[in-house]
Amino acid sequence: MPIHRDILDHGLGGVILFNRCLHNPDQTANIVSPGQLKELCTELQNLAPRTLLIGVDQEGGKVRRLWPEAGFEDLCSARQMGSDTDDTALTREQAQTTAAMLAELGINCNFAPVVDLNTNTSNPIIGTLERSFSDDPLHVARHAAAWIDAHRTRGVLSCVKHFPGHGSSAADSHLGFVDISENWERHELEPYRILLRQDMVDLVMTGHLFNRHLDTDHPATLSAPIIDGLLRTELGYQGVVVSDDMQMKAISDHYGFEEAVCRSLAAGVDMLVFGNNLDYGSDICPRAIKAMDDGLARGVLSEERLLRSLGRVNKLKERLGNDHD
């Protein structure tokens, strides 16, 4: 099985789970039932020589991989928790339920919460899917902090997304190029700034978002001015940066595989996500490793840069407290 090979032979550091196979709807997905999923997570974790990050998108509402129809706990949307009620106690309760479920299943990383502002309610990937807590950065930060804290009490990592802000966009980066140059405003950074001051950030996910005022050439995931400049230098974040799915068309339609791998790592991304769901390839992991090796040989990547990322990821995994060594 390719995933077993990648963990054992290629040092794959994490997996992400899905309840649907988008590339082949007739194929059985990773997630079928609680019992099956727990068995899968246990198998993969036991196979890994070091702690494996096992991640899932379990935001609640319309964006979740664990559905009640398959026997999992129900969870309302971020908008219901934030804008509709503005009740952080509800957010904490929902997050505690979610985190307890994930921990029991063996999932140690939830790619949530969304901290995008709901500034464009017609946004096809944020606003209309009720993924944002609010259009007010203070409300977003308050609810996100409750969410993250509840996950931490169960030993589950959280990931704030989509840096530097997807809420004002008018398009979906799953489907193609997204230019936020005319819509994005700097107050979309405030949830990150507030959460960082409170030490309430485990991981930050970049969005595949182009803003010519921040970088005239590349979207955020491939942008050193945005990651190393805005996020790390201006906001002071020194933790793990993870990409959104590198197979989304905002990247895959505009950059070759090797170029995208090397540009994102050189820009400051520490972990690359290949969902292998929008487009499946059994060799995705060795291809990414070869791209890195070639990048090192050509001088577009430095060993020092990759070692910094490895150090950040290892430090993050130490917090999970279940390394196999």
pLDDT higher than 70, residue 231: yes
Predicted local confidence at residue 202, as pLDDT: 99
CB 191 within 8 A of CB 141: yes
* Residues recognised as catalytic: 174, 244
pLDDT band at 175 (very low <50, low <70, confident <90, very high): confident
Mean pLDDT of 143-148: 99
pLDDT higher than 80, residue 223: yes
CA gap 183, 202 in Å, rounded: 28
Instruction: Considering the domain delimited by 2-318, tell me its CATH architecture.
Output: Alpha-Beta Barrel (3.20)
Predicted local confidence at residue 177, as pLDDT: 83
> Lowest mean pLDDT: which of 114-128, 162-176, 179-193, 238-252?
162-176
Mean pLDDT of 13-32: 82
pLDDT band at 209 (very low <50, low <70, confident <90, very high): very high
pLDDT band at 221 (very low <50, low <70, confident <90, very high): very high
Tens-digit pLDDT profile for residues 25-41: 767 678 889 999 999 99
Mean pLDDT of 251-256: 94
Q: Decide which of 206 and 170 is more confident.
A: 206
Of 39, 41, 32, nearest to 70 by C-alpha is 32
Phi, then psi, of 6 in degrees rounded to 5: -65, -35
Predicted local confidence at residue 324, as pLDDT: 56
Mean pLDDT of 235-242: 98
CA gap 70, 111 in Å, rounded: 20
Residue whose tokens read 């950074």: 189
Tens-digit pLDDT profile for residues 59-93: 999 999 999 999 999 999 999 999 888 899 999 99
Q: Rg for the chain (alpha carbons), in Å?
A: 18
Predicted local confidence at residue 321, as pLDDT: 78
| Percent of the chain whose pLDDT exceeds 70 | 98
Predicted local confidence at residue 213, as pLDDT: 98
Q: Decide which of 281 and 275 is more confident.
A: 275
pLDDT higher than 70, residue 322: no
Residue 128: partners with Cβ closer than 8 Å, 6 or more residues away: 121, 122
Predicted local confidence at residue 171, as pLDDT: 82
* Neighbouring C-beta atoms of residue 82, cutoff 10 Å: 26
Predicted local confidence at residue 323, as pLDDT: 57
In the chain, where do the E strands start and end?
14-16, 53-56, 58-60, 63-64, 109-110, 157-163, 203-206, 240-245, 271-273
DSSP assignment of 187-254 equals GGGHHHHHHHHTT--SEEEEP--B-TTT-SS--GGG-HIIIIIIIIIIS---SEEEEEETTSHHHHTT
Q: What is the mean pLDDT of the chain?
A: 95
